[in-house]
Structure 1
Amino acid sequence: MRTRFRPDRQLTARMLVTMFLLGLVYVAFIAALVVLVDSVVVVVLIAAGVLAAQWWFSDRIALFAMRARIVTPEQEPRLHALVDRLCATANMPKPRVAVADTELPNAFATGRSTTRAVLCVTTGLTRRLETEELEGVLAHELSHIAHRDVVVMTVASFLGVLAGLIARFAFYSSLVGGGRRGGRDSGQVFLMILLVMAVSVAVYAISFLLIRALSRYRELAADRAGAMLTGQPSALASALTKVSGDMRIIPTRDLRAAEAFNAFFFAPALGSGVSLSSLLSTHPTLQKRLDQLASLSAQL
């Protein structure tokens, strides 16, 4: 179904380039592991298993991790009314709506397709935002679904997860089975561990940088598309300012618990101050997002 969200050719091009580069890294990664690890079958099974789990269960995993629940129109009439109106305006299928009972003010979309998508908001977000501000956030998340970049990010993040799993598997299997390897001395086993770890770290670093670069652009694209759909960039800018400001008063423990979902959040779960994590953030700076919305307001 063709939605009324404007096609974003730059976003599409960046997603294709990122997936192509990640694919090249993935092929090189598997080739290196086939050479370094004894069992090719184990490598293939792990790769296929992780990808299948991320593809089929990404929505359930995200909802479980955030302790979110699917809600009905009777349970959340305000939320459903906004989503209904936005989906009708955008001419797109309505995603399932979920709520996470947490003070962290945020929202995210997940799911392997537009028909399996879930749009989740936190109670901390709905309590803080006015109706027009909440509508802007929901339009932002619906843009992610319409442009299918939720699916792209889910698949793209697979490589980093796989690299971590392979590194752990190689380390522990060598540690446990090292004494049984009659044909190799301890030096060879240790060298194999180092090689597998080095390849995994390199792959993780490359995928990390590529995904972060794509993620920052997709957030700007979603801001732009969401603001154009509602016709109120100032409302989205107000929501961004509120959420980013209130993020500083959320306990550090809660921010760290939610940090793994930053690539999917409306605003990153980061405290105040500039650090390496903010410089390599999944999101552009607040000022950059506000500047873009101000420019859209002037155009409209």
Structure 2
Amino acid sequence: MLVNSLKTVGLLGLLTGLFIMIGGAIGGQIGMIIALVLAVVMNMGAWWFSDKLALKMSGAQEVTPDQAPELHAMVEELSRRAGIPKPRVYIIETDAPNAFATGRDPAHGAVAVTTGIARLLTREELAGVIAHELAHIKHRDTLISSIAATIAGAIGMLADMVMWSMIFAGFGGNDEEEGGGVAGLVGGILTAMLAPIMALIIQMAISRSREYMADAGGAQILGNPLPLASALEKLEWAAGRMPMDEARPATAHMYIVNPVLGGLASLFRTHPETHKRISRLRAMANRSGNTAMAA
């Protein structure tokens, strides 16, 4: 877990550095300073508003203990085991089985599950999923992922600005500067094209690292890795057959399994391959001698 935490810190540093570098390409030293200030402002915005935006974009509706007593009781018990305040509970009306957690810190956490997930999973499997989401809240993963997504999106916008400014600057060049101008133009356009790809790769690496941590944390909270492993098998199977219309690529990294599978999404995974997650969970069960529930 420590290795994954250090990896996340390093990747976030790379992402911020890339953002500042693009700012420098636009406006030199002043551009770098402006980009740094923007990075701080955007991180604060992501910290404060990420939960509200995620819940609104997914169409999640908060439910009371009277409306969903079993779900609330499960969340309350697992929160107690995790040592965090009980998060708010939301339901998304869709047959696609999935779940996610959000919130800037454990005191402002929220867990959202779809109506389809309760129909697909057993009670123990659903508890494994909820424990995974509570581990995200405990580790502040939702905040980290939101910051990464915000900076990566901003890098894409800045890269577009760099590319178009280079193109228009190239059109206004003169013959004496043609050699250096063309080289600079090509270099600038390549930078503008590669920077968003690099940012996306870093963002995905952060997301995958945090998913492994949440799997391990969820197994610890529940006291058994096998129900989560079984749930992941079912959820991965369902994701390819029941696409989640409510999900957006910008929030896909938040769900326990990627709800936007197929096409290019398969090439740019926000989650580790599910069979690798399952293998790790089963290995945890074997190490702990938890073979009684191997079925």
TM-score under structure 1 length normalisation:
0.80
Q: 1:54 aligns with which of 33, 46, 55?
A: 46
Contact 2:99 2:255 in 1 (8 A): yes
Q: 1:78 to 1:195 in 2, by over 3 A?
A: farther
Q: 1:162 aligns with which of 138, 149, 154?
A: 154
Q: Tell me what 2:18 maps to.
A: 25
CA distance in 2, matches of 1:121, 1:286: 19
Q: Tell me what 2:172 maps to.
A: 187
Q: Tell me what 1:296 maps to.
A: 284
- Which residue identity lines up with residue 140 of structure 1 in the other structure? H
Q: Deviations over 1:135-193 (max 9, x none)?
A: 10010011111111221111122221112333456778999xx8xxxxx79435x9899
The answer to whether structure 1 residue 80 and structure 2 residue 68 are counterparts is: no
Q: Deviations over 1:57-85 (max 9, x none)?
A: 11111111111112211121111111100
Q: Cα RMSD (Å) of the superposition? A: 3.1
CA distance in 1, matches of 2:248, 2:67: 25
Q: Tell me what 2:241 maps to.
A: 249
CA distance in 1, matches of 2:277, 2:159: 37
Structure 2 gap ranges (5+): 174-180, 291-295
CA distance in 1, matches of 2:231, 2:27: 49
Q: 1:270 to 1:43 in 2, by over 3 A?
A: closer
Q: 1:259 aligns with which of 245, 249, 268?
A: 249
- Which residue identity lines up with residue 133 of structure 2 in the other structure? E
Q: Tell me what 1:100 maps to.
A: 92
Instruction: Map 1:132-281 onto structure 2 (within 5 A).
Output: 132-167=124-159, 186-187=171-172, 198-251=190-243, 254=245, 257-271=247-261, 277-281=265-269
Q: 1:194 to 1:127 in 2, by over 3 A?
A: farther
Contact 1:157 1:207 in 2 (8 A): no
Q: 1:33 to 1:280 in 2, by over 3 A?
A: same
Q: 1:15 aligns with which of 8, 14, 18?
A: 8
- Which residue identity lines up with residue 220 of structure 1 in the other structure? Y
CA distance in 2, matches of 1:259, 1:185: 34
The answer to whether structure 1 residue 284 and structure 2 residue 272 are counterparts is: yes
Shift of 1:127: 2.1
Shift of 1:207: 1.6
CA distance in 2, matches of 1:174, 1:45: 24
- Which residue identity lines up with residue 279 of structure 2 in the other structure? D
- Which residue identity lines up with residue 9 of structure 2 in the other structure? L
Shift of 1:17: 1.1
CA distance in 1, matches of 2:271, 2:170: 48
Shift of 1:262: 2.2
SS of alignment partner, residue 205 of structure 1: helix
CA distance in 1, matches of 2:273, 2:32: 43
Q: 1:115 to 1:199 in 2, by over 3 A?
A: farther
CA distance in 2, matches of 1:185, 1:223: 50
Shift of 1:278: 2.6
SS of alignment partner, residue 263 of structure 1: helix
Q: Tell me what 2:27 maps to.
A: 34
TM-score under structure 2 length normalisation:
0.82
- Which residue identity lines up with residue 60 of structure 1 in the other structure? K
Q: 1:79 to 1:204 in 2, by over 3 A?
A: same
CA distance in 2, matches of 1:245, 1:185: 51
CA distance in 2, matches of 1:42, 1:225: 38
Q: Deviations over 1:240-271 (max 9, x none)?
A: 111111112114x838x533322111011244
CA distance in 1, matches of 2:142, 2:241: 28
CA distance in 1, matches of 2:277, 2:202: 20
- Report percent identity of matched pairs: 33
Q: 1:45 to 1:224 in 2, by over 3 A?
A: closer
SS of alignment partner, residue 245 of structure 2: helix
SS of alignment partner, residue 269 of structure 1: coil
Contact 1:140 1:226 in 2 (8 A): yes
- Which residue identity lines up with residue 277 of structure 2 in the other structure? R
